[in-house]
Structure 1
């Protein structure tokens, strides 16, 4: 503020103040001259509280007097007036650029322009009006404190409130007990019905009843707490000494309710936008799902999507679609612009980033496995030491079913780093399979070929086309290794078919007088282990 030159009027104010308070009681909070205008300084706020009621909060120095000193002096003056005979007429008088508050023409404290709470946007005139109103309420309560009749009525009202609280609380617990009893009857009735095929205790129905029961108990206690809060509030408001506490409790609830209602109303446009985004996303997702379902059933064709990859492609597109929807909806979520919301978002992002490093690697392996089409569902494969039919290819692992009805779960990263033998992909029909036998050099290889082919012809489940064939895969020191390759018609019967084939091989070899034994060398034989040319095509048993 600008400094203004002193005038005779200001000197007159000084004289009046000296006459009114005396030199010992002359304080800066009761004086305001042109010299004082420039020395208001902000200080630590200090409230003026009389009989538990806050009248005003002083926020500035006046001369060298801090807000705490000004508030203490004001409380002493007000209490001194209230303890004597008083009329209680509250007035205000302009004093410089501030207002002097008086009770029965006796100044009690001074409100400077710097006492206004700037953050609240309140004006100095509004501050003065509120201060006078609070001071008048304090005077009224002081009168009530000295009136035994009013205190007696307050006690009677408090007793009535107590009785009402007890009755309401009792009714709440009785209602809770009745609902609890009804739920128990319903559960008992369902359990009794379970003897003839009804609901068994411990099932989903019983869980629902339990949740409902606990919800009723929780709601009952919430009602009791609300009732207790209301009872304490109205009781405190009946007594002058505690009325400000009761009003504070009531205002807290009203402010909280107003804050909630205001927040809901202000969030409605954003929530409506989020709802529109969600609805549009669901519609697009359903359309894409319909298209993918028709492609999977063979009604439509998409050149860039294989039938085997429709399911994972649909999941990926759905995930990407909802991620974009979340990104669009995020700014419209209530509280999304707050620092707390941003901090939680960053924290969740860091947790996902650091905690899912291995998961992302496994998912990437799943993508590669699905879209490279190394294996497909229903194919018979050999992966490392595991062999079986592919039942499911997921983002993180693949499940095989072995011929011995075992389920093997293999991580996709292991599959990509292993050698995969696919026994189905190149087969025209059924499943490609093979078996190996070792026969000595004294058995004609042509006879072995014919006997193995005969065994396949006797085995049900082996396809005639493509025709089985025999390969000599090794010439060892003591025997020849023969590998019989054939197609199994039904890939799910591999174990049964292989067992039948091995039995047929033994039968055919026995019928032809040939042993399935691999000789081992210990000493030179009496005669060379050879087949003379005349015995290269011996007769053999027919199928």
Structure 2
């Protein structure tokens, strides 16, 4: 067990490490691609700036520019502006491709996200920019003297800075604006207002008066929670007492005619368990609501309340949406199951009618009804599974298909002998070599057939020993049925006996037939007969064949027949010999 747990733990660690490495590699590739885009656009921007400045210098150096020259310079400047617009559009398209896999780095103040940073700036990565801006905002919040109007925007050649009394809080570039799909000026104004609002909100919420109010509200919530739990416990105990007192009256439970379907005690146990489960569910529900309310009061733990409620509500919401979207498929499955169920009931009805002899089909024996019903039922179940399989949740996923194939291989390998016995059982049923109550011999085992199933056949010997024989063994070996023809032609019971040469053959025939007719359960017709099987040195080997219609008593008939033979021959003064016995002559 420990070894298996260790292997599982190692596999889990390897999987987690591999996943983490893939995630890091993916993020690194995105960062590299962003840096390439930024470097390429910086080069293009510098190139366009240089071209624009050169054209302006040339234009300013001309003393008396002609109309054609002015028009050419204007066209060149417009062309540079258009190229800059095309570069900006291409950059935006490249960023859109990376948006799905890019990881934003949030800038927070007391778990309150102010804005996100997607791209780096200069030598600083996106993560370093976010951490630096977060530290600056936290220092700004912690200042004893804070002047809101001192937080302003300052525009430079390529960036817009948010500054406070000369200290740069953060910078906004063209790439930041592209990530948010707005202009740099609009994004900078939005960041400025968001930072001001977050600082004002947190400075107000952390005053001493507000802290006292929050603690009072938290204590109130705890007291209300304890009162509700106390009332809920009292209500549960009252309900249990009412159930017990109601059950102790003349309640008889659920009866169907004279059959006690559900006893009063079981109903009482079910109702009490249900009431206790309701109490447990309400207890955890009230606990979750109380914890969420307490967390939502304090700014530091407010995000915990959101995470707690989101963790509960999101799975329930997804479950509800999944059930709603799955309803048409579920309706299809219900209809198929209902049709299959009623088809099974119809088959069962015809099977019972044929088995009881109320419905007769030419050439179809009543004992075939049950196995035929089971065969058709297996086919019906397989057909129903095939019909509903595409509509099962997750049936089109690779995991579901893999599990299905694995289970199929597992069943195939583990049930080969069971399938062989089942097929042999059906073949034996339709061959009809024996029936329940017949006396048969399989290999060296002789007994009465007491049970036939699709897998095995059970025999009970003369000594009341129950023997279980697999059907595949019966099908592959010789089977002797002592009862199949006893009703019409009777079963012959043979007895071998050795008689000396001195006794006349006619006398032996007469005595053996007389002993057979005096035996109980031996019929007079057909008449017993005697075979002379061997003529040896001193005796003749005879075989008495007696007929009976009760093969189930063949052991007792054989014993009685031997007893009568001994008695008859003793009355006539004739000695019986065995093949290994020789009379010693007198001296």
TM above 0.5, yes or no, is: yes
Q: Do residues 142 (structure 1) and 202 (structure 2) align? A: yes
Return 365-374 or 279-288, whichever deviates more: 365-374
Post-superposition CA distance 1:376-405 (Å, at most 9, x none) = 333221112221222222221101122343
Task: Give the counterpart of 1:46 among 105, 114, 133.
Answer: 105
For 1:326-405, list aligned pairs within 5 A: 326-405=385-464
Return the offset for 1:167.
2.7
- In structure 1, the residue matched to 2:82 is none
Q: Do residues 458 (structure 1) and 518 (structure 2) align? A: yes
- Cα 1:219–1:450 change in 2 (3 A) is farther
Task: Give the counterpart of 2:368 among 306, 309, 331.
Answer: 309
Structure 1: distance between partners of 2:150 and 2:508? 129
- In structure 1, the residue matched to 2:474 is 415
Post-superposition CA distance 1:326-355 (Å, at most 9, x none) = 011011112222333333323322321222
Contact 2:512 2:544 in 1 (8 A): no
Structure 2: distance between partners of 1:503 and 1:89? 130
- Cα 1:185–1:45 change in 2 (3 A) is same
Q: Do residues 482 (structure 1) and 509 (structure 2) align? A: no
- In structure 2, the residue matched to 1:280 is 339
Structure 2: distance between partners of 1:47 and 1:130? 15
- Cα 1:263–1:336 change in 2 (3 A) is same
Contact 1:99 1:111 in 2 (8 A): yes
Contact 2:456 2:469 in 1 (8 A): yes
User: Given the two structures, how large is their TM-score scaled by the length of structure 2?
Assistant: 0.69
Post-superposition CA distance 1:467-507 (Å, at most 9, x none) = 44443445566551424231224x54445555544444444
- In structure 1, the residue matched to 2:228 is 168
Return the offset for 1:449.
3.5
- In structure 1, the residue matched to 2:311 is 252
Contact 1:452 1:505 in 2 (8 A): yes
Post-superposition CA distance 1:232-281 (Å, at most 9, x none) = 11110011111111112112222111111001111111111111111111
SS at match of 1:471: strand
- In structure 2, the residue matched to 1:294 is 353
Post-superposition CA distance 1:1-38 (Å, at most 9, x none) = 89575778xx99xxxxxxxxxxxxxxxxxxxx969958
The unaligned stretches of length 5 or more in structure 2 are 1-36, 54-86
Return 378-387 or 518-527, whichever deviates more: 518-527
Structure 2: distance between partners of 1:77 and 1:410? 86
Contact 2:152 2:192 in 1 (8 A): yes
- Cα 1:211–1:388 change in 2 (3 A) is farther
Contact 2:516 2:546 in 1 (8 A): no
SS at match of 1:462: coil
Structure 2: distance between partners of 1:341 and 1:130? 48
Structure 1: distance between partners of 2:150 and 2:340? 68
Structure 2: distance between partners of 1:94 and 1:475? 135
Structure 2: distance between partners of 1:452 and 1:100? 130
SS at match of 2:521: coil
SS at match of 2:459: strand
SS at match of 1:389: strand
- Cα 1:375–1:136 change in 2 (3 A) is farther
- In structure 1, the residue matched to 2:211 is 151
- In structure 2, the residue matched to 1:58 is 117
- In structure 2, the residue matched to 1:231 is 290
Return the offset for 1:422.
1.2
Structure 2: distance between partners of 1:399 and 1:115? 85
Structure 1: distance between partners of 2:323 and 2:158? 43
Structure 2: distance between partners of 1:255 and 1:63? 40
Structure 2: distance between partners of 1:297 and 1:156? 80
Post-superposition CA distance 1:505-535 (Å, at most 9, x none) = 44434444444552644566469xxxxxxxx
Greater helix share, 1 or 2? 2
SS at match of 1:60: coil
Structure 1: distance between partners of 2:506 and 2:173? 122
Return the offset for 1:137.
7.6
- Cα 1:382–1:243 change in 2 (3 A) is same
- In structure 2, the residue matched to 1:325 is 384
Structure 2: distance between partners of 1:137 and 1:470? 122
For 1:43-192, list aligned pairs within 5 A: 44-84=103-143, 85=146, 87=148, 108=170, 110=172, 124=181, 138-139=198-199, 141-175=201-235, 177=237
Q: Do residues 425 (structure 1) and 484 (structure 2) align? A: yes
- In structure 1, the residue matched to 2:19 is none
Which structure would you say has the larger RCO, counting Cα contacts within 8 Å and 6 or more residues apart? Answer: 1
The unaligned stretches of length 5 or more in structure 1 are 13-32, 118-122, 528-543
Structure 2: distance between partners of 1:510 and 1:432? 28
User: Given the two structures, how large is their TM-score scaled by the length of structure 1?
Assistant: 0.74
